[in-house]
Structure 1
Amino acid sequence: MTERLLTHLRHVDLAVPDYDQQLDFYAGIWGLTKVAEDSGISFLAAEGSPEQYIVRLRKAEDKRLDLISYGAASPADVDTLAEQLLAGGVQLISQPGKVDTPGGGYGFRFFDIDGRTIEVSADVAARQHRKIEEKESIPVKLSHVVINSPDLGATKEWYEHHLGFRLSDTLWHPKMGEAMHFMRISSQHHSMAIAQGPHTSLHHISFEMRGIDEYMRGTGRLLRAGVHKVWGPGRHYAGDNTFSYFHDPHGNTVEYTTELEQLDEDTWHPHVYDFSTDEVSDQWGTANPVNELVAKESFNDPDRGCFIAPPV
């Protein structure tokens, strides 16, 4: 396995046909803050996060995942990773250099095994952020991202081999076999998970809330506003985190969560959990059942951006 050079998840960038509606959703009821906007591109931050932004929206004809961005500790690590990927036959989109987005920095982009655009950067200026107050039900930070892959095992092995991800846990189903791998780049149980899906697509983006009360208040706010709920509220077994999944206006699944498990990496061994068991899907027993409809809603539309780099 490759040495771990990634430090954390920075942001997830989406291309959206109805740009204004999406911007109203994320900068409104979802609770992010628009920090910059220019020519059909907006950058949205979480008030509690030092990241310059955690979601980027771009106006486009086709809905797609533009990219997933990760941090590295230094420009030297960025260069090392680029050299390793190139030597390993990974297709680079750009060479390491200046990053022209809020906060600047030094980074590059490349395609993963399924054709998603991945960005890695270092030396990005920290954003002035603040403590989220009690009962303030807005996201503190970006928690994790989950992707759908038609070849679960191959995608897992690619991220382990090329980017140094480690397996935390696996979900298994008696009818499907292995269904999801939770992958980490730190002591956080997962910053990414890979789900078995019928096509390459975004499964969901997860946003961390201050605590249980703020998580429930945010969940209730969206329910009262009539935002389509996919699944929840509940508490997962793998990762031990809470979950409430909703659809944004274009059918991307977004999650409020909190209390994601922190692991002792020296002693942790991956588990295989049977998620046909009720307690594995939801420890609390408060969420709606995981039926076929819920599963299909998480498949999302096939990503039209595979092996096509975003224009910006």
Structure 2
Amino acid sequence: MSARLLTHLRHVDLAVPDYDKQLDFYAGVWGLTKVAEDSGISFLAAEGSPEQYVVRLRKAEEKRLDLVSYGAGSTEDVDTLAEQLLAGGVQLISQPGKIDTHGGGYGFRFFDVDGRTIEVSADVEARQHRRIEEKEAIPVRLSHVVLNSPDLDKTREWYETHLGFRLSDTLSSPHMGEVMHFMRISDQHHSMALAKGPHASLHHVSFEMRGLDEYMRGSGRVIRAGFKKVWGPGRHLAGDNTFTYFLDPHGNTVEYTTELELLDEDTWHPHVYDFSQPEVADQWGTANPMNELIAKESFNDVDRGCFIAPPV
């Protein structure tokens, strides 16, 4: 396993055909702030986060996941990681260097084992952010991203070997075997999870709210605005976090969450939870039951961007 050089999740970048509709959703009812826009590409920040942006939207002919971006502690760590990946046979898209995008920084891009574009960067300028107030039901920060993979263990091993992720917990069922691995790069229970799916694609992107009241208020706002609620509100056992899942205008699943578990990494041992038990999916018992239709929503469309680097 590689030494841990990654520090946190920075942003998730999406490409969509109906750019205006997608931008209206994220900068409107979802509660992000548009901080920059230039010819069919926009950068959306969470008001409580020092990250320059947490979502990037790009107008494109085909829907795809453009990239997932992680922070590193220093430019030296970026260089070290690039050298390790090259030595490990990982295909680099770019060499470490100055990043010419909103907030700048120093970083590079590469393909993961499933062909997703991953970016790692350091020295990105911090954004002026603020404390989210009581009853202010907008995202504080990006919480985590979940990725579908047709070969769950192969993808898990790749992230452990090359990027220093550690396994926190696993979901399994008697009929399907292992269906999800929760992976961490800090004491946060997961900044990424890997889900068993028929193809490589985005499972969901999760946004942290200030607290339970704000989480419920935000969920209610999105429901009242007429967007499809897929699952929730409820509280998972793995990670102990709340969840309400919605579909954005292009069928990507997005989540409001709060209170994701922080672990003592020195003493933590991964659990295998039986996902067929109702209290594993939802401790509260308030969410609509998980079924095949809900699961299929999260499979998403086949990602057309695998092993094809985004143009920007």
Once residues 30 and 219 of structure 2 are traced to their aligned partners in structure 1, the CA distance between those partners, rounded to angstroms, is 10
- C-alpha RMSD of matched pairs (Å): 0.3
State how far apart, in whole Å, the 1-side matches of 2:225 and 2:91 are. 44
Equivalent residue, structure 2, for 1:103: 103
Provide Cα deviations, 1:16-63, integer angstroms capped at 9, x if missing partner: 000000000000000000000001000000000000000000000000
AA aligned to 1:153 is: D
User: Which residue number in structure 2 is paired with residue 229 of structure 1?
Assistant: 229
Give the Å deviation of 1:225. 1.2
What displacement does 1:115 show? Answer: 0.1
Aligned positions of 1:257-272 closer than 5 A? 257-272=257-272
What is the SS of the residue equivalent to 2:188?
Answer: coil
Alignment-derived partner of residue 281 in structure 1: 281
Moved beyond 4 Å, runs of 4+: none
Offset at residue 293 of structure 1 (A)? 0.2
TM-score (norm 1): 1.00
1:201-238, Cα deviation, whole Å (9 max, x unpaired): 00000000000000000001111111101100000000
Q: Residue type of the partner of 2:269? A: H
| Structure-1 separation of matches of 2:141 and 2:7 | 15
Aligned to 1:188: 188
Counterpart residue number, 1:155: 155
Determine the structure 1 residue equivalent to 2:65. 65
Query: Hey, what does 1:34 align to over in structure 2?
Result: 34
How far apart are the structure 1 equivalents of 2:175 and 2:304? 29
1:275 is aligned with what amino acid?
F
Which whole-Å CA distance do the structure 1 matches of 2:56 and 2:128 have between them? 18
Matches of 2:271 and 2:255, distance apart in 1? 23
Residue in structure 2 matched with residue 307 of structure 1 by the alignment: 307
1:215 has 2:215 as partner:
yes
Q: How many residues align?
A: 312
TM-score by length of structure 2 reads: 1.00
Partner residue, 1:295: 295
SS of equivalent to 1:134? coil
Give the distance between the partners of 1:100 and 1:69, measured in 2 at CA.
14
1:55-204 to 2 correspondence within 5 Å? Answer: 55-204=55-204
Distance 1:214 1:183 in 2: 26
Distance in 1 (alpha carbons) for counterparts of 2:73 and 2:105: 11
Residue type of the partner of 1:271?
H
CA distance in 2: counterparts of 1:293 and 1:214, whole angstroms: 28
Task: Please say if 1:245 is aligned against 2:245.
Answer: yes
User: Following the alignment from structure 1 to structure 2, what is the Cα–Cα distance between the partners of residues 108 and 220?
Assistant: 39
Q: What is the CA deviation profile of residues 155-200 of structure 1, one whole-angstrom value per residue up to 9, with x for unaligned ones? A: 0000000000000000001110000000000000000000000000
1:84-112: CA deviations, max 9, x gaps? Answer: 00000000000000011111100000000
Mapped partners of 1:129, 1:173: distance in 2 = 42
In the other structure, the counterpart of 1:8 is: 8
Matched residue type, 1:262: L
Residue aligning to 1:49: 49
Amino acid at match of 1:118: I
**Structure 2 unaligned spans of 5+:** none
Number of the residue aligned with 1:23: 23
Amino acid at match of 1:59: K
Using the TM superposition, give the Cα deviation of residue 8 of structure 1 relative to its aligned residue in structure 2, in angstroms. Answer: 0.1
Q: Shift of residue 64 of structure 1?
A: 0.1
Amino acid aligned to 1:96: P
- Paired residue secondary structure (1:251): coil
Gaps of 5+ in 1: none
Which secondary structure does the structure 2 equivalent of 1:298 belong to? helix
> What is the CA deviation profile of residues 225-279 of structure 1, one whole-angstrom value per residue up to 9, with x for unaligned ones?
1110110000000000000000000000000000000000000000000010000
CA distance in 2, matches of 1:225, 1:79: 45
